[in-house]
Chain A
C-alpha cells in the first residue's frame, strides 16, 4: 500500500523568509532610533519609543512599497498605528499594576490577615498591625451594597426590557444620568438625608447605602443590555407554551442571561469596591474590626489607604501601597469567583 506523503501546510501564514525580513526591519528601526536619539538633543525612554515607531513605519512602508506595492505599504502603516494604540492603552494599566505590586509587596506579611491597626501607630514597623479590619470592612460594605442593589438593578432592567411600560423612557434616562453621578454626591446625599437627620452616627450601613446608589445604575444598564440580547424567539416560545410573562422571564429569559447578569454584578462591584469619597464621609473608618455594619465606625481598604498616605511616614506609605495591593487582589478574587459561578453548568 503506497500512501503519498502529504504534509500539512499553512500557506496563509508568513514564511520564515517574510518573518526574517520583518525582524530585520524591526532591528533596523530600533538601531536607527538609538542613533537618532543619541545624536540629537532628545532624551529619555519616550524619545526612543516615539522615534522607533516612526522609523519602523517609514522603513517598513518604503521596503514594502518597493517589494510589494502600495497596498502592502499602507498595510504596515495601519498595522503599526493599531499596535501603537493597543500598547498605549495597556501601558498605563501595566505600569500601575507593576508599581502597586513592587511597592505593595514590601509590606506583605501574614499578620496582615490576622491583625488590625488598633495597637499600631503610623510610625511602627510594618510588621506591626494588619489589614483585618479593612478587609472585613470592605467585604461587609460590598456585600451589603450587592444585596441591596442587585435586586433593584435587575428589576429595573426587567422593567425596561420586558414590561416596557409608559415610564420606560424617563427611567432609562434617569438611570443613564445616575451612572454619571460623582460618588461624593451620593455620599453627601446619604449624609444629609439619612445620617444627620436619622441615625446620627457613622456606620457601615450608611456607606453601603451610598455605594448602592452608585451601583444600581451600573447593574441596571448592563443587565438591560444583556437582556436585550436574549432573542425574542425565546420569549415567544415560552409564552406560546402557556407560560405567563413572569414565569417565562423567570424560567427562560433570566437563566439564558445568567452569565451576562453575573458580568453586570461584577461591573457593579468594580464600580464601588475602590470608591473612597462616600466611605470617608459616612463610615468613620475604625482601626479595629467591627462586625456590626449597623452600629459604629467601620474600617475599609480605601479608607485605610487614604489614612495611611495622609499619615506621611515611610512605614505608613508602604502600608498604603500594601493596602492597594490587597484591594486589587480582593477585586481579582471576587471577579474570578463570579466568573466561575456564572459559567458553571446547570446542575441536574
Chain B
C-alpha cells in the first residue's frame, strides 16, 4: 500500500517539476568548469566515427569539465549515442566501426597505443538505455559486480554496497532484500541498480545513454535527483530525448544534428542559454519543438 502511495506522490512532484521549461532551466544549478577536485574532466578533440563506410559523426570537439552535467540532445540518428560510446571505447565493439580524433581523460588520449582499455572503462562508467542488471546475480552481487569483473579489492564490501545504493537512491527500497535477484525489481529500480553498479568502481566520468527512456515519470524523477547528487563528485554526460530532462539536470547542453550527412554538433552552451537564447536557428527550432 505504501508503495503505491509513494508512486502517486512521485507523479505529482513530476508534474509540478515539468511545468515551465525556461523556469526550470534557470533553476538548474550552475557551476563553473574546473572547480571540483576530480581530475580535469573529459575532452573530445575532433572526434569522427564510421560504421563501415558510413560516416555517422563528424568532427566533434567538446569539453566536459569536471563536476558538470552535460546533456546531449538532438533527433534520433544524429550520433549522440555513438559519440558517448567513442569516449569509453565501447564504439569498437560494433563490427565495422572506425573513429578518428582524440578523447582526452585527464589530458591523456584514451586511444593512445598501449592504453589499458579496461582501466579506461573503469574510469569512464556507463549507464545504458535499457536497464541491464546481471540476471544470474542478486541485487547485492550486481552492485559489487564491477569489482569482481575488474578484480579490484575493497576493504569493506557491505559499506561500499550500501554507499552506492544510497547514492543511487535505491537503498531504502532494497535494503531488506539484497539477496533477491536483480530481475525482481521494477524497471526504474533496475536502472538505479545499474547506476549503483557503475558507482561501485568509482568512475571519474559517468556516461548515461538515455537512462530514463524506458521509465515512468516517478522513476525518471528519482534518477534525475540521483544525477544531481552525483555531479558533486563526478563528471556526467547524459544523452536524452527529453528536453525538459536536459533542462532539469544539466549545466551544459550540446545540440547534435545530422542534416543529411554525418552527425555534427551544432551548438554547445550553458543549458539556460540553449533553452532561452540559442545562437543557431536550428537549435531554436529543435528546442521549441518545431521539428525532431
- Using a CB–CB cutoff of 8 Å, the interface residues on chain A facing chain B are 231, 233-244, 247-248, 251-252, 255-256, 258, 346, 348
Contact = CB atoms under 8 A, between A and B. Distances in A.
Interface stretch (B66-74, B106-114, B117-125): B117-125
Given A243-B118, A252-B134, A236 B149 contact: no
B121 A240 contact: yes
B151 A234 contact: no
Contact of B134 (A240, A244, A256, A258): A256
Given A237-B134, A241-B197, A256-B135, 10 more contacts: A234-B132, A236-B126, A239-B93, A240-B88, A240-B90, A241-B201, A242-B150, A242-B201, A252-B136, A346-B138
Given A247-B151, A348-B138, A348-B179, A241 B146 contact: yes
Contacts of A239: 90, 93, 118, 121
Contacts, number: 81
A240 B136 contact: no
B198 A256 contact: no
Contacts of B149: 238, 241-244, 247-248, 251-252
Contacts of B136: 252, 255-256, 258, 346
A169 B64 CA distance: 43
B128 interface: yes
A231 to B, nearest CB: 7
A237 B132 contact: yes
Interface string B240-271: 00000000000000000000000000000000
A258 B137 CA distance: 12
Contacts of B7: none
Contacts of B201: 241-242
A256 B132 CA distance: 12
Given A241-B121, A242-B118, A251-B148, A231 B132 contact: yes
Contact of A242 (B93, B122, B138): B122
Nearest to A240: B126
A260 to B, nearest CB: 12
Interface bracket on B: 20 to 34
A233 B130 contact: yes
Contacts of A235: 93
Nearest to B145: A241
A241 B198 contact: yes
Contacts of B138: 346, 348
A236 B93 contact: yes
Interface string B148-166: 1111000000000000000
A242 B134 contact: no
A47 B228 CA distance: 78
Given A242-B150, A256-B135, A236 B128 contact: yes
Contacts of A243: 118, 146, 149-150
Task: Give the 3 A-B CB pairs with smallest separation, nearest first.
Answer: A243-B149, A242-B122, A255-B136
B236 interface: no
B243 to A, nearest CB: 26
B194 interface: yes
Nearest to B132: A233
B121 A251 contact: no
A280 to B, nearest CB: 42
A251 B134 CA distance: 9
B134 A236 contact: no
Nearest to A233: B132
Contacts of B151: 247
A251 B126 CA distance: 19
A17 to B, nearest CB: 42
Contacts of B121: 239-242
A262 to B, nearest CB: 13
A251 B128 contact: no
Contacts of B93: 235-236, 239
A92 B125 CA distance: 57
A241 B150 contact: yes
B111 to A, nearest CB: 16
Nearest to B123: A242
B145 A251 contact: yes
B119 A234 contact: no
A238 B148 CA distance: 10
Contacts of B88: 240
B124 to A, nearest CB: 9
B35 to A, nearest CB: 27
A237 B150 contact: no
A70 B219 CA distance: 51
Contacts of B179: 348
Interface string B180-199: 00000000000000100110
**B137, B149, B197, B201: which has the most chain A beta carbons within 10 Å?**
B149
B237 to A, nearest CB: 14
